[in-house]
Structure 1
Amino acid sequence: MLVLSRKKGETIVIQDQIELTILSVDGDTVKVGISAPKHVDIFRKEVYLSIQESNRESVAPQPSDLSALIHRLRGSNS
């Protein structure tokens, strides 16, 4: 992990396309502004992890789906 120190108003540039600007610092809270191309998705980590979990759940076979599949397979073998 790269660790950089920045002050209010200072910016970090990532691959010529993404800029992170420190907008304010208030105690333990840092407000960061992000400029990036529209095709770049930006999420808070907790939201990103929630999306990933939802995606995993949506592609996981459900027990009812498996029961129906077994029933169809048994019916086609008769």
Structure 2
Amino acid sequence: MLVLTRKTGEAIQIGEDIEISIVSVKGDQVKLGINAPKNIDIHRKEVYLTIQEENAEASKEIHNLFNILPKKE
């Protein structure tokens, strides 16, 4: 893991397309601004993990559906 120190108004560049800016710092909260192409999904980690869990559950349900369908011989 790379750890960087930045002040309000400073930024971090990731590749050519993603820029993360420090918008403000208040107590233990940091506000980030993220500029990235529209085709890149950006989520808080807890939301991302929930999406991954829901996708895994949905794929299990599809697998179960295939198990009850008649098989071609």
**TM-score normalized with structure 1 length:** 0.80
Q: 1:61: Cα distance to partner?
A: 3.5
Aligned to 1:17: 17
Q: Following superposition, which runs of at least 4 residues in structure 1 exceed 3 angstroms of deviation?
A: none
Q: 1:60: Cα distance to partner?
A: 0.3
Rounded to whole Å, the distance in 2 between the matches of 1:3 and 1:18 is: 17
**Count of residues in Structure 1 that have an aligned counterpart in Structure 2:** 72
Q: 1:16: Cα distance to partner?
A: 1.2
The structure number with the bigger radius of gyration is 1
Rounded to whole Å, the distance in 1 between the matches of 2:60 and 2:10 is: 44
Rounded to whole Å, the distance in 2 between the matches of 1:61 and 1:37 is: 33
Rounded to whole Å, the distance in 1 between the matches of 2:56 and 2:30 is: 32
The percentage of aligned residue pairs carrying the same residue is: 52
Q: Is 1:55 aligned with 2:52?
A: no
Aligned to 1:6: 6
Relative to its length, the structure with more helix (as a share) is 1
Unaligned runs of 5+ in 2: none
